Amino acid sequence: NAGVMQNPRHLVRRRGQEARLRCSPMKGHSHVYWYRQLPEEGLKFMVYLQKENIIDESGMPKERFSAEFPKEGPSILRIQQVVRGDSAAYFCASSPLRQETEAFFGQGTRLTVV
Amino acid sequence: GQQVMQIPQYQHVQEGEDFTTYCNSSTTLSNIQWYKQRPGGHPVFLIQLVKSGEVKKQKRLTFQFGEAKKNSSLHITATQTTDVGTYFCAGLPYGGSQGNLIFGKGTKLSVKP
């Protein structure tokens, strides 16, 4: 059973470009969470999705950021018109159940905006 | 807003010494989880505590959840170089979705052989 798969592992974008981060949850997991981690910081919750539904996006910036988890295929975190401040590690996690279970994290995508 | 404070931010120990990190929440938590992140790696789940006053052990690691369910600690006995990494607590406030875990900033542990 493969773990949570994220790609790409490293992504370099120029200011103003779009960044697309992909996350395939573990087999059998239908709950996906995205977190952002700045250097030397903890993880900040961004969004929680189930298949085709956004459950909680209270941590998502109001502009430029969007997330989806389609019926088929991976979850996508999209950042439009990236700025230097978007440089961070973005981690995806998945779990089989909603309530009170551990989350399995992917290896993360390190986004660098130049 | 809801916060989870974690101290210390850094801890340097000699191999064989003990290590403790503390976590305090501004609100009562439904549960608290602990994760370890190696340098350059991703967070790996260690344990979850749910009950008030709960104590759980994993070999040299002891986890506690306070009576008021607002604080927690992780204690490592006789540290080894393999313990190096950043330890995060993550609390789930009552009423929050499971994804809305609030992470502490972590305690970065270095172990000198």
Residuewise pLDDT in 10s, chain B (113 residues): 778 999 999 999 999 999 999 999 999 999 999 999 998 899 999 999 999 999 999 999 999 999 999 999 999 999 999 999 999 999 988 876 666 788 999 999 999 99
Cβ–Cβ contact B22 with A under 8 A = no
Do residue B48 and residue A102 have CB atoms under 8 angstroms apart?
yes
Which chain B residues contact residue A95 at CB under 8 A?
98
Q: Give the pLDDT confidence of B69-98 residue by residue, as tens digits.
A: 999 999 999 999 999 999 999 998 887 666
Q: Give the pLDDT confidence of A37-84 residue by residue, as tens digits.
A: 998 788 899 999 998 899 989 899 999 999 999 988 999 999 999 999
DSSP code per residue over A63-106: SSEEEE--SSS-EEEEE-S--GGG-EEEEEEEESSSSS---EE-
Q: Shortest Cα distance from A61 to chain B (angstroms)? A: 15
Cβ–Cβ contact A44 with B under 8 A = yes
* CB-CB contact of A8 with A109 (8 Å): yes
